[in-house]
Structure 1
């Protein structure tokens, strides 16, 4: 398939939108994606299974937008080794109610500060078929370093980052090793196959 494809990305997070536009822009074929941003008020089911959360949100979006549209949602989680996968999908609410410093302090009693950043993409094609993609980056939780304007980036130090937090990395460098970059690489391979 060649040409321009309209795909709706359901998000209200402009930082996330910019990152995704950068990631999806790198394409060697003649195909191109016209990313259309829609901010919809989607309910998030209370669930630990990240795929189930993303699929439920994607199905809501399809219901709200109507059939015949290619649409995707993206959900990000941060799991702590010592907390058996928590905060997981609830990390956004942990950041909002506790703040970054208190989240770091949650791990004070533990020697293991290991964490995994996970992005889950749920995509519905124009025919209403659903597909799920995930990307993972392992790292550790550290004291906040770098700008604090993008979620928990300043407290997550990927093992592959040469000692930098996500917040301290240049966008292209971050995208090359990030959970989001990896999930969208899978998504792109699917879209351009």
Structure 2
């Protein structure tokens, strides 16, 4: 019998990504994943933390409190060296509109348009939290280093994937298939680490 686990997001792409990673790490029958869309009138939870870890814990704590389910949440984004680590926790709303990938990409590319190639480094960062109804909490982090291209490449992924070329890669994250991306991405690294914790915490 599968253990039920809440992923505190309404992002269907992120939900599918986590399901893939957990299925590989734990076995496809081990966890039944629910998203916020499965709960009526679930309110928006303000991400008031100043770090990815703080925001992940805020969302996971609220999910466990409201639903009584073990809850996983993540906060992730891109940290650009030339922007002193920004957009960081503001990645999803960098242009002023939450989740507007095209506007966020355009603004970021414009802001670093004059930055030389050798200084266009950055990293995707993901903090992933598990909060249990009994109050136990776990937090892990994953990173993927790379550099920022000057134009989009690829149609897959989401967010800043089309302009991010990971170290050692010849294709952007948006040019990778889902399994290839999961193997090297910040979120893949974080959730594989969290899967080890989930395996210990959830009943068989």
When normalised by structure 1's length, the TM-score is 0.87
Q: Is the 8 A contact 1:101 1:144 kept in 2?
A: no
Q: Is the 8 A contact 1:42 1:60 kept in 2?
A: no
Aligned length: 188
> Which residue does the alignment assign to 1:64?
66
Q: Is the 8 A contact 1:136 1:179 kept in 2?
A: yes
> Which residue does the alignment assign to 1:186?
193
Gaps of 5+ in 1: none
| 1:88-103 aligned within 5 A | 88-94=88-94, 96=100, 98-103=103-108
Residue 133 of structure 1 aligns to a residue in which SS? strand
Report how far residue 148 of structure 1 moved. Answer: 6.5
Residue 90 of structure 1 aligns to a residue in which SS? helix
Separation (CA, whole Å) in 2 of partners of 1:126 and 1:164: 41
Confirm whether residue 141 of structure 1 aligns to residue 148 of structure 2. Answer: yes
Greater strand share, structure number: 1
Q: Is the 8 A contact 1:160 1:177 kept in 2?
A: no
Report how far residue 61 of structure 1 moved. Answer: 2.1
Separation (CA, whole Å) in 2 of partners of 1:146 and 1:181: 19
Q: Does the C-alpha gap of structure 1 residues 61 and 29 become closer, same or farther in structure 2, counting only changes over 3 Å?
A: closer
Report how far residue 48 of structure 1 moved. Answer: 2.9
Greater helix share, structure number: 2
Q: Does the C-alpha gap of structure 1 residues 165 and 41 become closer, same or farther in structure 2, counting only changes over 3 Å?
A: farther
Query: Which range moved further: 182-191 or 52-61?
Result: 52-61
Aligned to 1:174, which of 175, 181, 201?
181
RMSD: 2.1
The C-alpha deviation readout for 1:14-43, integer Å capped at 9, x for no partner, is: 111111111110146797111122244333
The C-alpha deviation readout for 1:166-191, integer Å capped at 9, x for no partner, is: 10001111100000100011011112
Separation (CA, whole Å) in 2 of partners of 1:74 and 1:129: 16
Q: Does the C-alpha gap of structure 1 residues 9 and 30 become closer, same or farther in structure 2, counting only changes over 3 Å?
A: closer
Confirm whether residue 13 of structure 1 aligns to residue 11 of structure 2. Answer: yes
> Which residue does the alignment assign to 2:134?
127
Gaps of 5+ in 2: none
Separation (CA, whole Å) in 1 of partners of 2:33 and 2:140: 18
Q: Does the C-alpha gap of structure 1 residues 31 and 149 become closer, same or farther in structure 2, counting only changes over 3 Å?
A: closer
Q: Does the C-alpha gap of structure 1 residues 115 and 44 become closer, same or farther in structure 2, counting only changes over 3 Å?
A: farther
Separation (CA, whole Å) in 1 of partners of 2:22 and 2:163: 26
